[in-house]
């Protein structure tokens, strides 16, 4: 039984997930930036902390997603039938950062989740500050 097509499909799903997260987070950063620039958000101390936390988390998640996406072509080229895609690492990413696919995906998702929590907190802080 050849598992390579399943592993390849898994890598495609990881790629799609990373691209969607980058898109969503870039839009959220743009919304925060527009709200701050236009004065649409009351920037209390709490709102400033939450906005900064949200942007920082989203940027960290985008960086992890970019590294993950950067490693996928190399992983795909070296894919073997018995490969567990979560334990793979691109040669550059593996050598420089010592991270495998699972670690990058975990970092990406962790920072995305934290960014969403901060973003939601920012919205609540903006609502209650008026």
Tell me the pLDDT of the chain (130 aa) as tens digits. Answer: 455 678 888 889 999 999 999 999 999 999 998 888 776 556 788 888 999 999 999 999 999 999 999 888 888 888 887 888 888 877 777 778 888 889 999 999 999 999 999 999 998 988 887 6
Total count of domains within the chain: 1
Residues spanned by the domain of 18: 4-128
Q: What is the CA radius of gyration of the chain?
A: 18
pLDDT at 40: 58
Phi-psi domain of 118 (left: phi exceeds 0; alpha: psi -120 through 50; beta: other):
alpha
**Is residue 80 a contact partner of residue 12, using CB atoms and an 8 Å limit?**
no
Helix/strand/coil for 130: coil
pLDDT at 44: 83
Q: Decide: pTM greater than 0.95.
A: no
State the CB neighbour count (10 A cutoff) for residue 39: 8
């Amino acid at each position: 039984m050849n598992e390579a097509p399943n592993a390849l499909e898994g890598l495609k799903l990881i790629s799609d997930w990373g691209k969607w997260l980058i898109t969503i987070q870039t839009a959220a950063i743009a919304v925060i930036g527009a709200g701050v620039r236009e004065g649409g958000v009351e920037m209390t101390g709490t709102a400033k902390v939450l906005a900064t936390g949200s942007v920082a988390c989203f940027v960290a998640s985008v960086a992890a997603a970019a590294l993950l996406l950067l490693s996928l072509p190399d992983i795909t080229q070296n894919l073997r039938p018995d490969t567990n895609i979560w334990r793979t690492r691109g040669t550059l990413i593996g050598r420089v950062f010592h991270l495998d696919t699972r670690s990058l995906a975990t970092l990406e998702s962790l920072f995305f989740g934290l960014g969403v929590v901060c973003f939601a907190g920012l919205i609540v802080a903006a609502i209650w500050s008026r």
